[in-house]
Amino acid sequence: MIEVEVKMKVNNFNSSKKELKKLNPQQEPTEYQEDIYFERDDIGFAKNDKALRIRKTTKKDESAVFVTYKGPKLDKLSKTREEIELGVEDSDKLKTIFERLGFYENGKVSKEREIYKVEKYVVSFDNIENLGTFIEIETTLEDNSDFKPEVDNILNLFKKLGVEGSPITTSYLELLEEKNKIQ
């Protein structure tokens, strides 16, 4: 599965949410997500633009855990990449398995995510702990043969939301690491 994703930093969500309402979105329950990223020195996920994470998601009275592999980005404008995700029952046991295989925790990202669907696009309003507010828009494809038109469609959707600027192609984890180096 290929995830086509574009992310932009915003100062607040108010005007974008107002514009989004004009598109008659379907609102999903707000999620609280904790992402724990893993690394192994001999694999070098960060150096190879890949990621392995455990995501704990809570919404309403439900919670779920997923393990996700993300491949390298396929272009410089978006975060389009292969994504393989699988639901798991127990994050602690999975973390122990990773540790037994030589992986170590490389970082953590906590966020509150408001999710809307507009046609085949998922629009997420993300409030990242210790980082700020961002909007991500994504869709999925079976393969990467024709993802560039989807990137253009996502950028047009950002314009409809009144968000302009340069897409951010670094992950939230990388942005947090950069911020912590500066402080």
Active site residues: 37
Tokens read off for 173: 């984890």
Residue 173 backbone class (left: φ over 0; alpha: ψ -120 to 50; beta: rest): alpha
List the Cα angle 133/136/138 in 5-degree steps. Answer: 170
d(CA 136, CA 134): 7
